[in-house]
Amino acid sequence: MANANAPRRHQRTPRVMFWVVLLALLSAITFFGARVINAVFVQIGAQAETQRRIPLYQATATALAPAARGEVKRYSAAKVDGAVEQVFATNTPSAPDQPTPAPTLPEVTPRPLPTLFTYQGAEPGTVANGTLVPTAVPAVDRRGQDLVNIILLGNDGEITGGGYYGTDTMIIVSINRTAGTVAMLSLPRDLLVYIPGWTMQRLNIAYVRGETGGWTNGGFGLLRQTLFYNLGINVHYYAMVDLSGFKAIVDAVGGVNIAVDCAIQNLPLIGAEVPDEAVRVNEDGEYVLPVGYYHFNGAEALWYARARDNSSDFDRGRRQQQVLRAVWRQARDNGLLLNAPALWAEGSQYIQTNMAFEDLISLIPIALNLDPSRIEQFRFRRLYDTQPWQPPDGSFVQVPIYEHILEMLNDFYTPPTPNQIARANDRIRVLNGTTNENWDMVAAESLGWRGFAAFSAGSAAE
């Protein structure tokens, strides 16, 4: 006979299950309720952020809007007529009769390019600084191309001090809006030129002369006239940074990846950092950066771009173009070019320029769609384009050989041929057959500079 005082186990099980189910139900309600509340707060926050940013974009609305769009129609809130029966089995909307076009970048009408007045030049037979002043060269033929020329300047004012500085970095970037291509030309800082209204002197002094001499439009005005007089190139805009600005820009894009295809030997430099991979090689304190593929921060990139102990100013120009191209690639890959207002606000802290925001906006589509095969690099060749000389003032300069320079300038203004672009479609697979790490990446980058579409494929032994 069963014990009347025994526990009634068969009656406790339903109660336990009831509390488990109730607890699970309450947990689910709490969890999904929190998700709903959080979504509401996120939506409210997004709306508030949108309202906050509206004034920031009003100033650029005209530049960002497509041309000839007309007035924007505004619609009142939708009227609700009552419940509408939904048939969920066929609720997917049918395809429209006409395909929806893919989204495109807004069209921006470029502003007219700045005009250039023509300097009359020195009197024939004028001698300055021990040499005859040349006559003005003719303008380089654009061959009907729509070109925007920007000169990028780097000054050493943080080192020299006293308001006197040289523009030791000078790179003309020619953007071909007809062909959608870009060409870069590095100018030697010691190129002997006639600085209008003054004398024969090194090119890197023209800017500061214009600043201190009261030239129209200051330093850029005189530099622009100097380039047009001696090279026949009309530069429309300039952008200048000092050493700190250079470092800040490289850091702002997250650093740059650089393929070093020739070992660099140099002393530490003011304001720069010797890369960690460099090795000290002598008691003088010089360091050698071996061939390899590196990621540099701003201070390390500055050391790489300015070093020239075992090379020259001509080779330094090549490396500066390399850093410039790496900055563009990093900004594009990180999506920074898509946020033009933020890009402008960030760059304005470090860059001195005569460009307006509208000028930048009109060039963004080219920068976004630019293929590396459509970027060409040019630089002067010592002993072919220039001849070393020491004038009476004791300085060392490079005398331009105009006949050879003109050949290069004509190529500089000519976009890549169809054969060059077609060649870039041929993919070259580069394998590393050495024991040196990342040399396949270095070789692929070097081929890319020469117009080939090469990619690194790792070790040949794998």
Other Cβ atoms closer than 10 A to 189? 21
Whole-angstrom Cα distance, residue 137 to residue 139? 7
Whole-angstrom Cα distance, residue 343 to residue 337? 7
Whole-angstrom Cα distance, residue 138 to residue 153? 24
Report the domain count for the chain.
2
Q: E-strand spans in 215-291?
A: 237-241, 256-260, 264-266, 279-280, 287-289
Q: What is the pTM of this model?
A: 0.74
| Same domain as 446, residue 387 | no
User: Does the pLDDT value for residue 10 go beyond 60?
Assistant: no
End-to-end, the C-alpha distance of the chain in Å comes to 81
**CB contact set of 280 (below 8 Å; sequence gap of 6+):** 286, 287
Whole-angstrom Cα distance, residue 352 to residue 242? 9
Q: Give the pairing of strands 237-241 and 147-155.
A: parallel
Whole-angstrom Cα distance, residue 158 to residue 242? 7
Asked if residue 249 lies in contact with residue 154, where contact means CB atoms within 8 angstroms, the answer is no
| Same domain as 189, residue 153 | yes
19 found inside a domain:
no
Whole-angstrom Cα distance, residue 342 to residue 348? 10
| Same domain as 218, residue 165 | yes
- The answer to which of 142-146, 202-206, 213-217, 271-275 has the lowest mean pLDDT is 213-217
373 found inside a domain:
yes
Percent of the chain with pLDDT over 90: 53
Amino acid at 437: E
- DSSP letter at 259? E
pLDDT band at residue 333 under the 50/70/90 scheme? very high
User: Does the pLDDT value for residue 167 go beyond 90?
Assistant: yes
| Same domain as 443, residue 357 | no
261 found inside a domain:
no
| Same domain as 183, residue 143 | yes
| Same domain as 342, residue 388 | yes
| CATH number, domain containing residue 208 | 3.30.420.590
Mean pLDDT of 132-141: 94
CA max distance for the chain: 137
The whole domain housing 440 covers 427-433+435-459
Encoded tokens for 208 = 């500061």
Phi, psi dihedrals of residue 267, rounded to the nearest 5°: -75, 160
8 found inside a domain:
no
| Same domain as 449, residue 346 | no
82 found inside a domain:
no
| Same domain as 336, residue 455 | no
Mean pLDDT of 79-106: 47
Q: What is the pLDDT of residues 259-315, one digit of tens each?
A: 999 999 999 999 999 999 999 999 999 999 999 999 999 999 999 999 998 888 899
Q: E-strand spans in 329-461?
A: 352-353, 375-379, 386-389, 397-400, 427-432, 453-459
**CB contact set of 31 (below 8 Å; sequence gap of 6+):** none
**CB contact set of 49 (below 8 Å; sequence gap of 6+):** none
Task: With H, G, I as helix, E, B as strand and everything else as coil, classify residue 196.
Answer: coil
- Residue 93 is predicted with a pLDDT of 47
